[in-house]
Structure 1
Amino acid sequence: MATYGFLGLGIMGNAMAANLIRAGFDVTVWNRTASRCAPLVALGAKQAATPREVAASCDITFAILSDPAAARETCFGADGVLEGIGDGRGYIDMSTVDDQTARDIGAAITAKGGRFLEAPVSGTKKPAEDGTLIILAGGERSLFDDALPAFEKLGKKNLYLGELGQGARMKLVVNMIMGGMLAAFSEGLALGLKSDLDGAQILDVIEAGAMACPMFKGKGPMLLGENYTTSFPLKHMQKDLRLAIALSEELGQSLHAASASNELFKRASIAGYGDEDIAAVYRVIK
């Protein structure tokens, strides 16, 4: 039976690693703040001291980290994944990063004799807990096939998108659309409430029509109640919007709406709401 590593135990990684452990997989975990490993060790995981130790001892190592800088540090840093990978062992980075970061990590892993797959996920805390994420993979096809038993415990849809970088690009497109939708939704709700419309009725009208979607259904009550319990940190959405805009500059594609949305999320992050849920963008809109 394959052995699995898991690096990064934040909101997403903790839930995802727990699903693998509960499914009976042999899992070794690591996190920069080592104390976060304790609940998973209690579930049956092993704990490693460094990413190098995980990559050297596991057939397939997963990582889900906060941003490109963290992804690069975990791979290239002292005692990083690159120092432990080799002999055909797999490294699957599920972080949301730019396509260049994915390619740089992939090239280095391959050069050391490992196999690499980017596999960012679409979904937030609840889908991570429920194992209903959408996995967007690019890179080594054999590693995608070998990882399917684990992917099936993590996601409801596992897509192989082709060459390395396509997973990162798909994730940025999806999150860019999500950020724009949430900004427009927040502005509409703010305008409606200032027009003395009933907030619950606004949500009912949206839910009954063509704009009905799970995000509006989930975030609407959060906005009305101003409850911003974090399932997707606002600072990470702003990072994803920034990366999407950088991609647009590289490809020569104008992004008027996304650029405006980025400024709203940037303003909310500067105002101190970065660690709250993405719904907290409403704070600076209302």
Structure 2
Amino acid sequence: MSRIGFLGLGIMGKAMALNLVKAGFDVTVWNRDSHKCDELVEQGARVAATPKAVAQVCDITFAMVADPQAALAICQGENGVAAGIAEGRGYVDMSTVDDTTSLEIANAITHAGGRFLEAPVSGTKKPAEDGTLVILAAGDESLYQQAKPAFDVMGKMAPYLGAIGQGANMKLVVNMIMGGMLNIFSEGMALGQKSGLDGQAILDVLAAGAMANPMFTIKGKMCLEDNYATSFPLKHMQKDLRLAVALGDKLDQPLPTAAATNEAFKQAKKAGYADEDIAAVHKINR
């Protein structure tokens, strides 16, 4: 069984790494705040001082960090993954970044002799905990095959999408649609309740028809209870929307609805809801 490294133990990464440890993988972890490694160590993981040190001892190193800047930071520099990766070893970045950032990371890893796979995930805290994420892999196909047993622990589906950039693009498309759905949903909930309709009745009607989906059920409950405990931070959704709109600009693809949704999430960030769940966009609509 491959020796596994895992970088980044936030809301998603911690749950994903724990599942790998519990499945019996030999896991070495690193996090910028080292205290977040403690629970993993208690479960049997090892800890290393730098991303470089993880890559030096692991066959495959996975990463799950917040944004393109963080993804580049843990790859580059004297203590980065590229400085520690050896010939033939693999690096799998599961962060949500744009295709340009993914290509930059891929070039750094392959120049150092390693193999690279991008594998952003569709899913939030609960699917990460349950091992039911959808993993969107692209890049080195031999590394995909080697990483597949770990993907099968972390997710319920892990399609291979082809060349570097396609995983990143798929994730941006998925999250762009999710953000748009959530924004119009929260506007509809606000309109209905202001017109005198019962909030739960709105959810019940939606659940009975063609628009029924788990997100409306889960996020609708959060809106009704005014409880936005974070599963997917709102600031990260706004980042993904920004990247999707930028991709549209690059490809000359109009995205008027996505652009308007991005503005709504920017407004919610400015209002102080950045670290709350994405459902907190409802606070600017109600």
- Amino acid of the structure 2 residue aligned with 1:59: D
SS of the residue aligned with 1:160? coil
- Offset at residue 71 of structure 1 (A): 0.2
Task: Give the equivalent residue in structure 2 for 1:185.
Answer: 185
Tell me, what secondary structure is at the counterpart of 1:171? helix
The superposition leaves residues 172-192 of structure 1 with CA deviations (integer Å, 9 ceiling, x where unpaired) of 000000000000000000000
Question: 1-side partners of 2:160 and 2:103: how far apart?
Answer: 16
CA drift of 1:270 comes to: 1.0
TM (norm. structure 2) is 0.99
Residue type of the alignment partner of 1:26: D
Over the aligned positions, Cα root-mean-square deviation in angstroms equals 0.5
Hey, what does 1:175 align to over in structure 2? 175
1:251 aligns with 2:251: yes
| Offset at residue 77 of structure 1 (A) | 2.9
> Which runs of 5 or more structure 1 residues have no equivalent in the other structure?
none
Deviations 1:153-202 (A, max 9, x none): 00000110000000000000000000000000000000000000011100
Q: Distance in 2 between matches of 1:2 and 1:160?
A: 20
1:21-49 deviation line (CA, Å, top 9, x unaligned): 00000000000000000000000000000
Q: Determine the structure 2 residue equivalent to 1:213.
A: 213
Write the distance in 2 (CA, Å) between the matches of 1:188 and 1:260. 16
Count of matched residue pairs: 286
The amino acid across from 2:53 in the alignment is E
Q: How far, CA to CA, are the matches of 2:153 and 2:127 in structure 1? A: 11
Look up the match of 1:123.
Answer: 123
Give per-residue Cα distances to partners, 1:186-219, cap 9 Å, x unaligned: 0000000000001110000000001001110111
Q: Cα distance, 1:87 vs. partner?
A: 1.4
Residue 13 of structure 2 corresponds to which residue in structure 1? Answer: 13
For 1:188 and 1:207, the matched residues in 2 are separated by: 14
Note the alpha carbon deviations across 1:129-166, whole angstroms, 9 max, x for none: 00000000010000000001100000000110000000
Q: Which deviates more, 171-180 or 72-81?
A: 72-81
The answer to which of 241-250 and 82-91 deviates more is 82-91
- Residues 1:267 and 2:255 are matched in the alignment: no
AA partner of residue 40 (structure 1): L
- Following TM superposition, the consecutive aligned residue runs of length 4 or more in structure 1 with deviations greater than 4 angstroms are none
Structure 2 counterpart of 1:198 = 198
Match of 1:105 in 2: 105
Partner AA of 1:28 in structure 2: T
Code of the residue aligned with 2:189 in structure 1: it is: L
